[in-house]
Chains A and B, each alone.
Chain A
Amino acid sequence: MTARTTRPKSMINYGFGHLRHVVLLCLPISMGAMAAEDPYLSAISLEAKKVDAAAQPTLDSPESEPASDGGLDLQSFEGDLKARYKGSYTFYVKLPQRSREEIFQEYRDGASIDEIRKKIMDRFLHQ
């Protein structure tokens, strides 16, 4: 009568069975961490949709644009100002370079000519 020996295959099955239980137990723990973030992720995703990118205050104007492109636009602006509002142009050319750049930038950002003229006067008077 031979002793019944445990076959390796059944031992492996036994081990894997327990391993499966361990993995299944661990899954809720790791998923719990992710699940805890999911409602938060949903909330911030919904919130992001409320942001209007166009309402941002100071968007960068690319400084690496070719000088000719910026120069032509600037020339048009200054030419228009000189032709239509000579008084404002007279004060404009007396402003420091940086002030002129900012005024031109506001023009490019869509400020009205009245706002531009007012700004020129403000800058000139407060130099």
Chain B
Amino acid sequence: MKLFTRYLLSIPLLLLAVQCAAEALVVAQSDVIGLTADKPYIHVMHEGRSVKVQQVQDTNYELKGYFAKTARKCPPFCIQPEHVDPRVATIGEIEVFDFMENELRDDKGLLIDARTPEWFNRGTIPGSINIPFTTFSDENSVQAEQALERFGAIRRVNVGTMTRKMEEMGFMNGDSKTDKWDFSNAKKLVLWCNGPACGQSPRAIRGLLKIGYPADRIFYYRGGMQMWQLWGLTMVIPGE
């Protein structure tokens, strides 16, 4: 019986291994330009439908249009530092793919297009939701509260001064809590905007940190739309 149970449990693992091997074989044998050495593409849910995220399958591809340009007036379009904050990790495309396949798929994370709606509507990274950076300018605004609740934060009410002091001193479990919000079950967030010279997602990240969102649950995809398009990765037009 034990042997039978062990055999049953190993079948899904075997199937997963076979699938991964098959995908790797596809990349190796064909002329597919894969996302990684062993991953030709991934699938992401966007507005209720499955979207295949892959690189453009053309070795002659050259980025053209707005995002091919790099020289813009600074300010306001200044090259951003590698790190928004020492506590916030900056990530690249591979980490975004990994996030899409794991946290995003399991509803433990959100991919956030932190640009204003007029940017979002011109095209976004699949799987992204639009939470403009202006949302976090005022933490007491309805928009900010709605966004935080969507991120999994829980509003705290009537938190006494003594309770707060005890939490701050470590006598009560105050991890990931402020006097207004409990971030214990808050999701991981990957924020991005137009690219290395865009200040929209850094502003959103600073706003979140000011509100008390756990820094280790915030990630900055600095490459943004510019790098995403440079690689010829799939994008979607919202509403289409």
A interface residues, Cβ below 8 angstroms from B: 33-34, 37, 39-41, 43-45, 47-48, 50-53, 55-60, 62-64, 96, 98-99, 102, 119, 123, 126-127
Contact = CB atoms under 8 A, between A and B. Distances in A.
7 contacts: A43-B76, A44-B116, A47-B77, A48-B116, A55-B64, A58-B54, A58-B235
A110 to B, nearest CB: 14
Contact residue range for chain B?
Answer: 35 or more
Given A50-B66, A64-B49, 19 more contacts: A33-B137, A37-B137, A43-B76, A47-B72, A51-B66, A52-B65, A56-B65, A56-B237, A58-B235, A59-B237, A60-B46, A60-B126, A60-B234, A60-B236, A62-B49, A99-B30, A99-B31, A99-B32, A119-B58
B199 A63 contact: no
A127 B30 contact: yes
B222 to A, nearest CB: 17
A58 B119 contact: no
A37 B123 CA distance: 23
Q: Looking at chain B's contact residues, is the secondary structure mostly helix, strand, loop, or mixed?
A: loop
Contact of B236 (A55, A59, A96, A98): A59
A56 B118 contact: no
Contacts of A56: 65, 123, 229, 235, 237
B118 A48 contact: yes
A41 B116 contact: yes
A53 B26 CA distance: 32
Nearest to A53: B122
Contacts of B63: 57
B76 A39 contact: yes
B33 to A, nearest CB: 10
Nearest to A61: B52
B234 A58 contact: yes
Contacts of B237: 53, 56, 59
A22 to B, nearest CB: 18
B73 to A, nearest CB: 8
Contacts of B235: 56-60
Given A47-B77, A50-B66, A98-B32, A57 B50 contact: no
A99 B134 CA distance: 43
Contacts of A41: 116, 134
A96 B30 contact: yes
Contacts of B199: 40
A25 to B, nearest CB: 18
A108 B122 CA distance: 21
Given A60-B235, A123-B31, A48 B123 contact: no
